[in-house]
Structure 1
Amino acid sequence: MLFNLRDYFFGTDTLINTHYGLTNRVYLNNAATPLVSKPVIQELYKILPIYSYGIESNALSEELALKYNQVRDIVMNFIGADSSLDTVIYTSNTTTAINLLSQAYYESDPNQIILTTKMEHMANYLPFREKMKTVLVNLTSEGNVDMNDYTAKLEEYSGKIKLVAVTGASNITGIIPPFYDMAKMAHNHGAKILVDAVQLVQHKAFSMKPHDDASHIDFVTFDGHKFYTGQSGGVLVGDKAFLNQYKPLLYGGSITEFVSSSQIIYKPSPGRYEPGYPDFLGIISLGTSIRFIQELGIKNIEEWEQGLYLYLIRRLSQIPNLILYGDVYSNPRTPFVSFNLRGLSYRTLAQWLGYSYGIDIASGLNGANIYVQDLLGLTDEQAFSLYKSGEGCGITRASIGLFNSYTDIDRLVDALFSISSQLR
């Protein structure tokens, strides 16, 4: 069991100016980007003295390049990838990784259908939607993927669907879809599956499972800034043979084996997808953060965060006029919760919490436009009308990280009680 890990992170005791004076900030916006862990920065201090372009002919440059490339093995081990069949492509972030994969799928067959869900962050929807026909799976009243609708759409478009794209965990409610079941069913219809795990792998144990397992996950993406690094540096992990077939998303130096005025030979993956100067610091930070999580033990992290989450839900449920979105009691989940107060806009609530109480939370659509509209019970027309009016729509979200404490939750809940009492 883990206890308070605040000393391992920067910013946990930062003072913030509020309407009532200085107070310690409460940071509960980890689904957007969590605070930075000290082990990551300590590793960077070791790297900076040998920092260089990375391809010079000397021992220090070789050491830097080795540390950079070793992160591929760290990532493979962390999520159970197969080094003989999978590749780890470094990207600037998860959004870039998904755009890369969407381009490869577009090249493979521009007339195919992509199946995704209404839970998705726009990063796991728009890259497909803007290139190919993209079909959305509906949600249950609990806010999870409707598996009956998923089954029906797989059957309706069987043979045309080449990829299913699904979140590993919602950035709004924390609900974890049954992606292993979805993978098995996708494979039965000749499709592969992408799990956008950017909100999952720092909170819960995850494995791609072996390639001969019916529930194998074909592609996974996540990145460092949501993994306590505070920096860019992400990965796309998946089917090496598939990714070796297609052209890069971006073009530049270092992605070719040979170039002349009449011929180009691209490197195999991952090299062909990694143009330009390597992000040594971001990628090495990601590897360091993964090792930090492994040392703490992902099961220990799950237990600690689950305790905080259950305490948060129990206390939030006592607040008059507070609306909780999605089923907060069932479904596997990461420790996120979205809510509103009746009679108060999400914007005003967030401002009140931030400027009066020093509580850092998220508000609005948080990149999951369709999911939030669905949770609010809005039709497309109603959502568009609110947008046109300038009022918009949204939720307020608190998302727990492993450095958070029961005191942080008490501060949030006490503030919400105070705000709620002023609305009566």
Structure 2
Amino acid sequence: MSPVPPSLLPAVDTAVGTSAAPPHRYADALEPLLAVVGADLRAPLVGGDEVRYANLDYAASAPSLAAVADHLTDVLPFYASVHRGAGYASQISTSLYENARGTVRRFVRARPDDAVVFTRNTTDSLNLLAGCVPAGSEVLYLDIEHHANLLPWQARPHRSVVAAPSLAETLERVRISLSDGGVGLLAVTGASNVTGEVLPIAELAAIAHEHGARIVVDAAQLAPHRRIDMAAAGTSGEIDYLAFSGHKLYAPFGSGVLVGRADWLDAGTPHLAGGGAVREVRLDAVTWADGPARHEAGSPNVLGAATLARAAEVLGSLDEAAWQRHEQQLRAALLEGLAEIDGVTVHRLFDDSKEAIGVVNFSVAGHDAGLVAACLSAEHGVGLRDGRFCAHPLLKRLGLPSGSLRASFGVGSRLEDVERLVAGVRGLVEDGLGIDYAVDAGRWVPAHDSRPFPAWAPNTPGTAGAAPCLTDS
């Protein structure tokens, strides 16, 4: 039985409501905070029954906000090529695309002169920035990073810091490494995609700036869960660069963004060579553009940028207290439920972390993580993630080289999702598997899976594990 980490389990106010019946302890988590597409999706179970799908895989790709899908429907008739089109639809699309930059800038409270560059996703944003770090400057990163915030830096001068069991000691290790000199950029995650723990970004930024370095924050997980203030009122804790993805921000239409100081971006290697990124082209030479255009060659993802901006508007309008209460009650319920099951261990990075987003990582003793995930899906209609979460060095250090399980949730989640996950894990531990399972192309699947796919979706046998990286994301 795993104890609930006290510092990650907030106190829950139960003195709510005036009816004779006692209020539900997690009343604010009973219903979704915002409407999402697919909230009432029905999932078939092996055996013929079906249940409402419990989506606990938000950290991989969050469902679309209903407001974002509605916005897409509204703007789609006006979709056209941007910037140089004289037609009415082109002008509307250009306005959508360019105004999306201001919306994103306001959402993360960036500085007025920060560049906003639209990309494909967080990975693309960080690879773009890797081409803009001044020559001769090293990049420093932690061993807890997602591969997106680790691999781009390995092609240039770099060094890494192994995180300590405590955040306090980890910050000191970062400080010591920076004091050796030569580091131009500190690259850190805002919140762990493995455990959900939030890092002290303002403190890390202050340490970086104290030693003449800038900081980039991988906010793929942080942005969908927390208010971000890049400017930080002009203090030493301000963020120099921030990257995040639309598909984790409830706008799954293929866009990401990099926000940050323009000087490095204007002097850096253009991310793509092509039309739109130039001022003048000759047969044997080119004069590159400045500003976001320098890194946005080709026809941009207008709809992706527009929907990302709409998601930012909707999340930015939320009451912050209600937002955090909804998420933390879901997290508290899940941690408490898992702690009551023998053999379940909840994993964390730091023994002194006090804040975490809607991501919980756990394992079940004696059961392969992939098999547990398959069972929860086939027998309970619960979707969650198993594997190494594109964080191989971290999983190895946690003693989980073959992977673990990750449940993640957000504004569209409800308490029943968490309760069904806990009930499914308890049933597996106490009663065992309800059906037989087999390994198909590296993935656990029901040995006799009768669940139908929609008529429009291909269901080709033998492809369950055809893309190994899917188990790592």
State whether structure 2 residue 403 is matched by structure 1 residue 394: yes
Q: Is the 8 A contact 2:243 2:256 kept in 1?
A: yes
SS of corresponding position for 2:252: coil
SS of corresponding position for 1:45: helix
Q: Deviations over 1:163-206 (max 9, x none)?
A: 10000101110011112111111111111000001101111111
Moved more, 15-24 or 181-190: 15-24
Residue in structure 1 matching 2:386, options 363, 367, 379: 363
Structure 1 residues 328 and 185, CA, compared in 2 at 3 Å: closer, same or farther? closer
Distance 2:30 2:59 in 1: 21
SS of corresponding position for 1:42: helix
Structure 1 residues 144 and 138, CA, compared in 2 at 3 Å: closer, same or farther? farther
Distance 1:132 1:9 in 2: 41
Q: Deviations over 1:1-20 (max 9, x none)?
A: 68623772111221112224
- 1:123 is matched with 148
Q: Is the 8 A contact 2:167 2:352 kept in 1?
A: no
AA in 2 matched with 1:18: L
**Aligned 1:75-94 pairs, distance under 5 A:** 75-84=104-113, 86-94=114-122
SS of corresponding position for 1:309: helix
Structure 1 residues 367 and 278, CA, compared in 2 at 3 Å: closer, same or farther? same
State whether structure 2 residue 191 is matched by structure 1 residue 174: no
TM-score (norm 1): 0.90
Moved more, 92-101 or 295-304: 295-304
Residue in structure 2 matching 1:188, options 210, 214, 217: 210
State whether structure 2 residue 262 is matched by structure 1 residue 240: yes
Q: Is the 8 A contact 2:118 2:258 kept in 1?
A: yes
**Aligned 1:201-280 pairs, distance under 5 A:** 201-210=223-232, 212-280=234-302
AA in 2 matched with 1:187: H
1:78, CA displacement in angstroms? 0.9
AA in 2 matched with 1:11: G
State whether structure 2 residue 131 is matched by structure 1 residue 113: no
Unaligned runs of 5+ residues in structure 2 are 1-27, 434-473
- 2:43 is matched with 16
SS of corresponding position for 1:272: helix
AA in 2 matched with 1:320: D
SS of corresponding position for 1:119: coil
Q: Is the 8 A contact 1:137 1:145 kept in 2?
A: no
Residue in structure 2 matching 1:418, options 427, 440, 449: 427
Structure 1 residues 26 and 329, CA, compared in 2 at 3 Å: closer, same or farther? farther
Moved more, 218-227 or 330-339: 330-339
Structure 1 residues 241 and 254, CA, compared in 2 at 3 Å: closer, same or farther? same
AA in 2 matched with 1:16: A
TM-score (norm 2): 0.81
AA in 2 matched with 1:135: R
Moved more, 283-292 or 253-262: 253-262
Distance 1:294 1:3 in 2: 22
SS of corresponding position for 1:8: coil
State whether structure 2 residue 357 is matched by structure 1 residue 334: yes
**Aligned 1:376-395 pairs, distance under 5 A:** 376=399, 383=401, 393-395=402-404
Unaligned runs of 5+ residues in structure 1 are 384-392
Q: How many residues align?
A: 403
Structure 1 residues 3 and 56, CA, compared in 2 at 3 Å: closer, same or farther? farther
Structure 1 residues 418 and 145, CA, compared in 2 at 3 Å: closer, same or farther? farther
Percent of aligned pairs with the same amino acid: 28
1:316, CA displacement in angstroms? 1.1
Distance 2:30 2:258 in 1: 32
- 1:387 is matched with none
- 1:62 is matched with 91
- 1:51 is matched with 79
Q: Deviations over 1:73-126 (max 9, x none)?
A: 011111111122x10011011100000001112xx21x4321101111000000
Moved more, 351-360 or 18-27: 18-27
Q: Is the 8 A contact 2:341 2:426 kept in 1?
A: yes
Structure 1 residues 394 and 143, CA, compared in 2 at 3 Å: closer, same or farther? farther
Distance 1:320 1:215 in 2: 42
Distance 1:297 1:24 in 2: 28
- 1:386 is matched with none
Q: Deviations over 1:106-160 (max 9, x none)?
A: xx21x4321101111000000001x1233222223368971222122122x32x1
